[in-house]
């Protein structure tokens, strides 16, 4: 009776305590990116950190996990290759007696208790945000295009070259030059002879008999 009472007290105390969760990442990570390791009736810890808790939440990788029985304090270890989204239970495969320390130790293995989900079973929140943002951008582009079209309809038409009086290869009016536009001077001596040549030409015409 005296031996059973301490065990009952420890059991009641363990039931009243809130399970302690140990994680090796600073911020929140979704379930499909981490791995969970636990063993009912035992506390577990990563061998390097020695932070003991009821559940380990770890980033994927290979770990040496230690586990310790709550009532007997018998310890054990297991090498676990953890994958993202996996939930692992430690199964004891052997109990060994260590002569040098005079204690028993457990050898364990990590067994995954859930099936891996295909990638399409879950969607990342940022993917939804990107799709919403792209949809809103498309809506904004459409509305901006409609506004540009309406402004083009209300804008005054631009006159073409024919209406503005500019030269055009088609429908251009051919008209003679006015006297003010005629250029009677030229740099060519054949077209614009010197005054002395004009006088000689005139004298020769006057001297010729009819």
Q: What is the pLDDT of residue 145?
A: 60
Q: What is the pLDDT of residue 18?
A: 74
As a whole number of angstroms, the distance between CA 199 and CA 66 comes to: 129
Question: Could you give the count of Cα atoms lying within 13 Å of 100 in the half-sphere of its Cβ?
Answer: 0
pTM: 0.51
Q: What is the pLDDT of residue 22?
A: 94
In the numeric block, which tokens belong to residue 193?
Answer: 């002879």
- Please state, for a pLDDT cut of 70, what percent of the chain lies above it: 48
pLDDT higher for 120 or 170? 120
pLDDT higher for 191 or 68? 68
Strands 103-112 and 75-82: parallel
Confidence of residue 138 (pLDDT cuts 50, 70, 90): low
Residue 89 CB: number of other CB atoms within 10 A?
15
135's enclosing H/E stretch is helix 125-154
Q: What is the pLDDT of residue 193?
A: 54
> Across residues 42-47, what is the average pLDDT?
96
Q: CA of 98: how far to CAs of 43, 101, 105, in Å?
A: 21, 6, 7
């Amino acid at each position: 009776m005296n031996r059973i009472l301490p065990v009952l007290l420890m059991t009641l105390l363990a039931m009243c305590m809130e399970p302690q969760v140990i994680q090796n990442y600073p911020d929140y990570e979704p379930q499909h990116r981490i791995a969970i390791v636990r063993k009912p009736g035992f506390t577990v810890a990563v061998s390097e950190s020695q932070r003991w808790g009821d559940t380990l939440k770890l980033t994927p990788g290979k770990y040496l996990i230690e586990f310790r029985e709550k009532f007997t304090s018998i310890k054990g270890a297991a090498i676990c290759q953890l994958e993202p989204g996996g939930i692992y239970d430690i199964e004891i495969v052997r109990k060994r007696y260590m002569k040098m320390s005079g204690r028993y130790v457990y050898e364990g293995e990590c067994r995954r208790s859930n099936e891996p989900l295909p990638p399409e079973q879950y969607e990342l929140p940022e993917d939804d945000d990107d799709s919403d943002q792209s949809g809103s951008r498309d809506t904004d582009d459409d509305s901006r295009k409609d506004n540009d079209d309406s402004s083009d309809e209300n804008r005054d038409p631009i006159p073409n070259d024919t209406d503005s009086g500019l030269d055009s290869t088609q429908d251009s009016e051919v008209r003679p030059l006015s006297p003010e536009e005629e250029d009677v001077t030229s740099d060519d001596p054949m077209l614009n002879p010197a005054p002395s040549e004009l006088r000689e030409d005139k004298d020769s015409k006057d001297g010729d008999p009819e």
